[in-house]
Amino acid sequence: MASDLRKIGVSDDCELAVRIDDYLLPWDIRPPVVMLHGLAESGEAFRRWVPYFATHHLVVRPDLRGYGDSTPMQGDYVYRFAGLGDDIIRMLDALKLDRVFLIGGKIGGTLALHLTAKYPNRVIAVAAVGAPASLTSFNERAPTWRKQIREQGVEAWVRETTAGRLGSSLPPAALDWWIGLMSKTKASTLEAFLKMVPSVDVTGELPSIKRPTLVITTTGSGLGDVASVKAWQETIPGARLEVLPGDSYHVAATDPDVCARKVREFFDRVAT
């Protein structure tokens, strides 16, 4: 088997689409790696990361509830952040995966931190890449985004916000690819999801994380300067911080090769 797309029911109203990348040799199997994407993305956000892990790990890339090829959510659906975590645990159970390495980008990294705190027996180590610990600062931005999406559509919102998200380092073709990926998200899913976003705050959970943790950010991240990221990162016992140069907050997208190598090396050290 190589890459496979499966549908896994996690509740009465949702099937998660899950990309499974399996290039393993039967005698050289290490723990699986689960990759959690961010707002308005899908598991395809990590496509460049797959070659760095798939030679020795089963790679699992779910589309979070409402996103990608998963069941779209209606605009009046009430997202719960903890519920997103429950979806991932049900997915792991369905795939019979006991303990995994976790990687998350943007709010997917926030979710990965939450899962590591709440389900330490299911996580070997975690990497939060361009992830905020709190999204309460989106209290004003999120309603404005919802209004723009309702009036102008998803693609208009994606295009207007891409510079802040991806910075100035990517060529036009790469920006177009990311705009295309994110613009596939259903407007109803974003309407519902963005209502939840300003309530997301895992800072209180961070001190309880007992698994090896890597945090990656950039010098010019729009989600928080280095000092503010370091402040919450240091509340995680033994956590390591990597700071890359750049003005992107979605560093998993703008610097996938550098980030993937750093995360793989971190996981390899944990496993030895």
| Phi, psi values for residue 213, rounded to 5° | -130, 130
Structural domain for 100, as ranges: 4-271
Check pLDDT > 80 for residue 271.
no
What pLDDT is attached to residue 192?
98
What pLDDT is attached to residue 223?
87
Query: Looking at residues 230-235, what average pLDDT do you find?
Result: 98
Average pLDDT, the chain: 96
Question: Dihedral of CA 63/192/202/225: which sign?
Answer: positive
What pLDDT is attached to residue 133?
97
* CATH code assigned at 146: 3.40.50.1820
Query: Looking at residues 257-266, what average pLDDT do you find?
Result: 98
What pLDDT is attached to residue 2?
80
What pLDDT is attached to residue 261?
98
- Reported as a pLDDT band with limits 50, 70 and 90, residue 272 is low
> Where is average pLDDT lowest: 22-31, 37-46, 120-129, 233-242?
22-31
Check pLDDT > 90 for residue 135.
yes
- Kindly report, residue by residue over 76-111, the tens digit of the pLDDT: 999 999 999 999 999 999 999 999 999 999 999 999
Q: What is the side-by-side strand order in the sheet with 30-36? A: 3-11, 14-21, 57-62, 30-36, 100-105, 123-129, 213-218, 240-244
| Phi, psi values for residue 47, rounded to 5° | -60, -35
Domain count, the chain: 1
What pLDDT is attached to residue 203?
98
Q: Sort strands 123-129 and 100-105 into parallel, antiparallel or unpaired.
A: parallel
pTM score: 0.96
Asked whether 167 and 246 are in contact (CB, 8 A), the reply is yes
